[in-house]
Amino acid sequence: MEVVRLLMIRRSFLLLLLLPVLGAAGTLLQTYIVQLHPHEGGSEAVSASGSRLGWHRSFLERSVAWEQEKRPSSRLLYSYHTVFDGFAAQLADAEAAALRALPGVASVRADRRVELHTTYSYRFLGLNFCPAGAWARSGYGRGTIVGVLDTGVWPESPSFDDRGMPPVPVRWTGVCQGGERFNVSNCNRKLIGARFYSKGHRANYPTNPSEAVSLLEYVSPRDAHGHGTHTASTAAGAAVAGASVLGAGAGEARGVAPGAHVAAYKVCWFNGCYSSDILAGMDDAVRDGVDVLSLSLGGFPIPLFEDSIAIGSFRATARGVSVVCAAGNNGPARSSVANEAPWVLTVGAATLDRRFPAYVRLGNGRVLYGESMFPGEIGLKKGGKELELVYAVGGTRESEYCLKGALDKAAVAGKMVVCDRGITGRADKGEAVKEAGGAAMILANTEVNRQEDSIDVHVLPATLVGYKEAVELKKYISSARRPVARIVFGGTRIGRARAPAVALFSARGPSLTNPSVLKPDVIAPGVNIIAAWPGNLGPSGLEGDARRSNFSVLSGTSMAAPHVSGIAALIRSAHPSWSPAMVRSAIMTSADITDRQGKAIMDGDGGRADVFAMGAGHVNPARAVDPGLVYDIQPGDYVTHLCTLGYTHMEIFKITHTGVNCSALLQKNRGFSLNYPSIAVAFKNGAKSAVLRRTVTNVGTPNSAYTVQVAAPPGVKVSVAPTTLSFAEFGEQRSFRVTVEAPSPPAAKDCAEGYLVWKQSGGQGKHVVRSPIAVAWVVE
């Protein structure tokens, strides 16, 4: 009976998602986010209405007609009042237009959907039990709270065990929200809070009832997809001995900040994440008392005044919350980086030096390198059964990509099928081959994927080969009378590959909306990351996968962001009074620009990684908790920065909820430049020089001095004054001026890069504070 009841709940929830939302006279409704102007009668209106919620409802009463016996306020989905002033509601186009015309309404915009962009990674980051290390200096992140906005959490995972955890911080005001298969007993001293937000998703989901929908969704904070469980445990998961993915990648799993508390905010469902739900989650999280907000979601770059994540994170930052966001997976395209707001910490993805080799031994004796996490039997490590190779059976594009139903069962039965990447998920292709009777699969990168090697826990013997190997493989198939191959699984290998390197898919700069700030800020492990996994899903993430594992492997900037969220938690624990800007500065200026072999970090598309791929470099937690100097930024400085970019009064209000006169502000702050830890200069319309001012705060030892070292970008002259900074006391500030001169851009280039370093001098010279320099020439 309980199973039947749960299925009925799920079906009811999904039917709500599938039903068209109609207003009066059958008018189709959609969700709008309405921003209000509190300085235009807002306080009086709130008092007259009795509450902020009543004030929000009053706008609907004035713009929406009654529907039979339903009040217009029944259209309200969310009432925001912490990171955003306004509400979300279901409206017809005409009603949205009527709202825009009301006094006190700043903007009305349609809801927007965004996408969801470990046993070893903590060791790769240098986190260990050394008394002088980041864990020891920060108490493993104890006392900090990491809020994760994602697909929810699987509370029974051993990564959320609270043994050894301190009590819940007294400042915490969050809740453990009940729902399907989730109640207050699922929270503990590790997982201290959980909420879910589905109103925006229900209102926005397409109305086609024939579209196939999974019933494996929980109307509660419980995670049905794995992404949220994976990211939360990466940031702050507890220690779990003997962790592995069905035997692969075995070791002890730990989050980056294993002593920190976790709060889960489920804002993403089977069809993505909607801005109205995300804003509601951020609104609650900041009010609940989180120290760090981790968002592994986003999309393509859009103007800041239209970006709900940028808007919500501004107020979160102003309230002292560090916001960490994924850069996105749209690389290596230029200017593809998302979550570009200068008040968030934007994270790209990098590789580890851990590999899972699965070689393809061809019938002609050639061996092609591939990777896989198929947990094959021991015999497969010596070489599986030799099988006949087939590719594009039927000669259709659908069969090349191994789409479900496109494979001729008679042609693939008992054979090793080659499938091109693209259109469907990598693991889905393996399932399609298995369902068609294939015995094994080789997943072949296309030219777009190049040598990128994100692996999966496939449901049949399978391996992924790079584009170069794929070309050779297909040439062999087309030329051999009876092409055959076998897959040889090589287990887990550590330390044999150069790493870190920027992942091919990691989004790149320069920023489209704000080229004067270098994005992404840093890179962190994001390829083949092993972390916690829900108990309702097989490790492949496929519904038909009956295997179960407490851990699985995922790749993406979604995996990189929670690594940095964990580092931010460590820094907040070690330095609780630091602002979000100081935390970000510590992470950026301490980052590495060389790999584990001491060579330049490489790019996933070949060659040396530039600053638009890796930002300041690869995170280094041990140095980040003790950076020596930091660049601080006050919330008001961001407002001035937006004025320098030419944003209008209303655009700045939409972002910051602050009314501003840019002319007066810029007159007062002549020569203003944002005190960002990196230096980005965009020369426009023939400009040849720029002067920037920076201020650093001493968070290291008193009576210390730093000397500047500059490596100017090619063709660019960079001078710094003064060249030495002396600090008598802890917390003391010193300013310097950077002059960048470029008579003309380098031949055939529109950008160049270098760096500026403040190096501690004397016997205490352990601190090196590094800032990348990016110079771009822009023609408008």
The tokens of 165 are what? 């955890």
CA distance 560 to 527: 8
DSSP 539: T
Instruction: Tell me how far the alpha carbon of residue 34 is from its chain's centroid.
Output: 26
3-state secondary structure 269-326: ECCEEEHHHHHHHHHHHHHHCCCEEEECCECCCCCHHHCHHHHHHHHHHHCCCEEEEE
Cβ atoms of 209 and 18 within 8 Å: the answer is: yes
The tokens of 624 are what? 């980040």
- The catalytically annotated residue of 107, 233, 399, 558 is 558
The enclosing H or E element of 734 equals: strand 733-741
Cβ atoms of 87 and 31 within 8 Å: the answer is: no
CA distance 668 to 738: 21
- The catalytically annotated residue of 37, 201, 227, 641 is 227
The tokens of 667 are what? 């007159």
The enclosing H or E element of 684 equals: strand 679-684
Sign of CA dihedral 229, 230, 234, 235: negative
Q: Is 398 exposed, middle or buried (0-12, 13-18, 19+ CB in 10 A)?
A: middle
> Three-state DSSP class for 608?
strand
**Known catalytic residue at 39:** no
CA distance 534 to 181: 13
> Three-state DSSP class for 451?
coil
- The catalytically annotated residue of 85, 150, 592, 637 is 150
The tokens of 528 are what? 């083949």
Of 347, 341, 338, 329, residue with least CA distance to 614:
347
Of 299, 307, 298, 339, residue with least CA distance to 109:
307
Give the dihedral of Cα atoms 368, 369, 372, 375; nearest 10 deg: 70
**Helix ranges (DSSP H) in 26-138:** 42-49, 52-63, 93-100, 121-124, 134-138
**Known catalytic residue at 626:** no
Residue whose entry in the numeric block shows the structure tokens 């972390």: 531
The enclosing H or E element of 468 equals: helix 467-479
DSSP 357: B
Of 82, 32, 21, 37, residue with least CA distance to 60:
32
Cβ atoms of 149 and 282 within 8 Å: the answer is: yes
Q: Is 437 exposed, middle or buried (0-12, 13-18, 19+ CB in 10 A)?
A: middle
Backbone φ/ψ region at 558: left (φ over 0), alpha (ψ -120 to 50), beta: alpha
**Known catalytic residue at 261:** no
Cβ atoms of 87 and 35 within 8 Å: the answer is: no
CA distance 699 to 632: 11
Cβ atoms of 519 and 674 within 8 Å: the answer is: no
Phi, psi of 705 (to 5 degrees): -135, 150
Residue whose entry in the numeric block shows the structure tokens 């006279």: 25
Residue whose entry in the numeric block shows the structure tokens 């186009």: 93
> Three-state DSSP class for 778?
strand
Any bridge partners for residue 274, and if so which?
113
Q: Any idea which residues carry the catalytic annotation?
A: 150, 227, 558
